[in-house]
Amino acid sequence: MTDDVDAVLDDLIEGQRRRLFELARRLAPGVTAEDLLQPHDHPAIASHPEFHFEDGILAGYLAVRAALRARR
């Protein structure tokens, strides 16, 4: 079961990262995945509420994964 949960979380995280990157590319063409580590460097991204919403979802998935790993 642990492997199943890990696989589902990995899929959710990867999918959300793709979604966030696609949104960022629409807002600031030419932005890279690495740029998303410092979104405040790109005003079009940093000021966009949808970006913050999607980034929050990703942060939640990452927090769940970290909590489950710590619990083990």
Q: In the chain, where are the structural domains located? A: 2-71
Contacts by 12-21, CB closer than 8 A, 24 or more apart: 12/61, 13/58, 13/61, 13/62, 13/65, 16/54, 16/57, 16/58, 16/61, 17/58, 19/54, 20/51, 20/54, 20/55, 20/58
- In terms of pTM, does the model score above 0.85? yes
The pLDDT of residue 67 is: 96
Give residue-wise pLDDT tens across range 13-67. Answer: 999 999 999 999 999 999 999 999 999 999 999 999 999 999 999 999 999 999 9
What are the backbone dihedrals phi and psi of residue 60, each rounded to the nearest 5 degrees, phi first? -65, -45
What are the backbone dihedrals phi and psi of residue 61, each rounded to the nearest 5 degrees, phi first? -60, -45
